[in-house]
Chain A
Amino acid sequence: MENINKNLQSDATVKEGKLSTKERLQIKRHEMPMQDPQERIKNFNEVPFGYSPEEAIEEAKRCIQCKSEVPECVKGCPVNIDILGFINLIEKGDFLAAAKKIKETNSLPAICGRVCPQEDQCEKLCVIGRRKDTPSVAIGNLERFVADYKAKYGNLHFEVNSFINPGKNKKVAIVGGGPAGLATAGDLRKMGYGVTIYEALHEIGGVLMYGIPEFRLPKDILLRELQILKDMGVEVITNAVVGKTVTVDELLNKKGYSAVFIGTGAGTPKFLNIPGEELNGVYSANEFLTRVNLMRAYNKNEYDTPIKSCGNTFVVFGAGNTAMDAVRTALRLGYHDARIFYRRSRKEMTARLEEIHHAEQEGVKFDFLVNPVRFIGDENQNVKQVECLKMELGEPDESGRRRPVPIKGSEFTTDIEGAVIAIGTNANPIVPQSTPGMELNKWGYIIANEETGKTTKKGVFAGGDIVTGAATVILAMGAGKKAAASIDEYLKIGIW
């Protein structure tokens, strides 16, 4: 708190532009206009519309431009965006310069502006947000605004290429085209290295492509950001399952790559291991979302991948962002009653508040302290009911959250037409199993240095969910950035 006051005081004496800090603090936070909840559940279009330039400038004025060496907000940013710098440029109305400022450190601003949990990162530490009556500056909304503005009015290609350093005579293979790999690829390319992304699926993007729905991250915007990376000279090889099509050792020894970065994610779904889970209509979140997103089942007039798209009740087990994505997708597919079943209470939910709020606006129901014990099928082995137990909260468990304990004899059944298990993921075994000399931890994740991304195998770096277990897009990108810096150092000095 002392720090906050100091920042406020110092800023009050050095006035930026015409506004005093007091005046800045009086401006209300601008929320983005949004599609009406009742309308939006009938389509897959993005929920918020984004700021107008006027709204963006007004919101930017709320930033008091803290004078500390490293502003609090930047401390909360895994990719160290010069937040003050770009907000200052927005305030001046120079949106293209603001976009360029972000792009210096972040290859995917339109994506981060949409899917980062800013309330736990930059906006959480924002000095004015930590005061009692002033919400933090809407940093995420502003990032999104400038990225979209630039896409509309800027010359993407020219500006991007102005970052690229003269060619270096070495190339790096990136395994997995998700957030970690994309961030690593972008940074290494800017440093001048040759970069090839090996992607298992037919499109890069990783969870951004197969997991996050259209209404949170439109494919057009994702494809636009990915195209910028390709335009920078990042080579992409799709349909290449590293460990099957080509191995890490072959990349290093036969294909001429000086280093390999592994960012394959944590993509193997966990199941509940309860009876009836194999019934038709019970999906992993990954399958359900992959059908709808990567395979575009939401656009069934044009695409061939089938999905069941009507019914009454659809239940999603879990309470993270993936669970919210799945339950809101079910609503949009046409299920009338889409629900979250969670074995803990509201307080323990791990989804972003904004996602929970959007889901509630759309009519998603939340049932807390319920745990499924079995699925029951009809004569065709399609799921028709789920039996659950009611829970109560006991003593805190290893995660520090109060452990849910079943209440004896509290079984009840709910009629359902579909269910998604969204309780997390395990490490995908393909790359680890095919890469001798690279050590794994007891859960099968790759052991890598947190700061450098170095694994126990020379020349091989790793980052993102395949190291940490399931986390967020931005943390994976942060790990990718650190790995890029460390790969650069390794390739310069040649010492492991």
Chain B
Amino acid sequence: MYEIIEKKNLGEGMNVYKINVPDVAAKARPGQFVVLRVHEKGERIPITIAGNDEINGSITILVQTVGKTTHLLSELSAGNKLADVVGPLGIPSEIDNFGTVICMGGGFGIAALHPIAKALKEHGNHIISIIGARRKDLLLMESEMKEASSELLVATDDGSYGAKGFVTDVLKKLVVDNKRIINRVIAIGPVPMMKAVSDFTKSYNIKTIVSLNPIMIDGSGMCGACRVLVGGKTKFACVDGPDFDAHEVDFENLVNRQRFYKEEEKAAYECHMKQHHSNM
């Protein structure tokens, strides 16, 4: 169990893994996540399920190296095992025929977005996907997203591919200039991106769903570390989410809570990298 059966480096500390975890693969629905530990003394981290293969019993996850735990994970390869994988956690995304849905993914959010877009398309929605990255070579899953969408639009910060600018710029153009009628927006990505999308769609009264990624420990409603403010009320992202109505989410609070352990995480990463290099 929990064996890495495939690993591919996507450049810049980004890796995609297929992990053998049949129980999770059999149950996973778009929008759900797993909590994993890399080793026996490691921390528990939540990672969105980017895909599942029921027949092979595997799930796909994309992980970017940002600290000690993700670096330890990046050092593993096919054949290695993780200490723990638990899931599928969270409430699956609402999948229905809404009409025209814009699926917006920024950076790593595209991995989480893909299964949702795919399921929505299968339910007869017209899917306009807008995905973005800092530059062309960092853009993830373009061909997969193309397949999951009716229309695919791309934006890069530096203009090296698609429109120059943010995904929100593309969204604004669609809604304001092209006057497209949009029934729902799904936005998954860095918090500033989700907030920008939410601020815009709120003024146009377009229902918008975001997937939140606060710090978690158990992922099953026990600890309350992942609490977020939604509509002024405390919600647990792990059992009440991770999807929430964007217009009700307190994004500033989310950002603050995400950075609580920044100093400790930085120190742990630096210490780990020092040891890592001295061992090489």
Contact = CB atoms under 8 A, between A and B. Distances in A.
Contact of A304 (B27, B68, B256): B68
A200 B218 contact: yes
Contact of A306 (B37, B223, B239, B261): B261
A210 B218 CA distance: 10
Given A267-B221, A290-B222, A428-B222, A381 B86 contact: no
Interface string A283-314: 11011001100011000001111111000000
Most buried by A among B24, B83, B229: B24
Contacts of B84: 202, 238-239
A286 B224 contact: yes
B41 interface: yes
A488 interface: no
A296 B224 contact: no
Interface string B80-116: 0001111111000000000000000000000000000
B84 to A, nearest CB: 4
A41 B79 CA distance: 44
Interface residues of A, number: 42
A94 to B, nearest CB: 39
Interface string B124-143: 00000000000000000000
A231 to B, nearest CB: 21
B239 A246 contact: no
A273 interface: yes
B12 interface: no
Contacts of B220: 200, 241, 244, 428, 430
A202 B37 contact: yes
Nearest to A203: B84
A306 B263 CA distance: 10
Contact of A278 (B222, B229, B265): B229
B253 interface: yes
Given A239-B84, A271-B234, A304 B218 contact: no
Contacts of A307: 264
B217 A287 contact: yes
B223 A304 contact: no
Contact of B224 (A210, A269, A304, A430): A269
Nearest to A242: B220
Contacts of B27: 244-245
Interface in A248-285: 267-269, 271, 273, 277-281, 283-284
B65 to A, nearest CB: 15
Contacts of B86: 200-202, 239-241, 245
Residue of A201, A271, A380, A430 with most chain B CB atoms under a 10 A cut-off: A201
B256 A280 contact: yes
A278 B89 CA distance: 23
Nearest to A281: B260
Contacts of B268: 304, 306
Interface string B218-248: 1011111101110000101001000000000
A76 interface: no
Contact of A286 (B24, B223, B229, B257): B223
Contacts of A241: 86-87, 89, 220
B23 interface: yes
Residue of B44, B86, B89, B265 with highest tally of chain A CB at under 10 A:
B86
Given A271-B224, A290-B223, 17 more contacts: A202-B86, A241-B87, A244-B89, A245-B86, A245-B87, A271-B227, A279-B256, A286-B222, A287-B217, A287-B223, A287-B224, A290-B222, A295-B217, A303-B41, A305-B44, A308-B264, A428-B222
27 contacts: A200-B222, A202-B84, A240-B23, A240-B86, A241-B89, A241-B220, A267-B221, A278-B227, A278-B257, A283-B224, A284-B223, A284-B224, A284-B225, A286-B223, A287-B225, A291-B217, A296-B41, A303-B41, A303-B43, A304-B41, A304-B268, A306-B265, A306-B268, A308-B264, A380-B256, A428-B239, A429-B239
Please list the 10 inter-chain residue pairs (A to B) with the smallest Cβ-Cβ separation, ordered nearest first: A306-B264, A284-B224, A381-B256, A239-B86, A287-B223, A280-B260, A267-B222, A305-B43, A304-B43, A269-B224
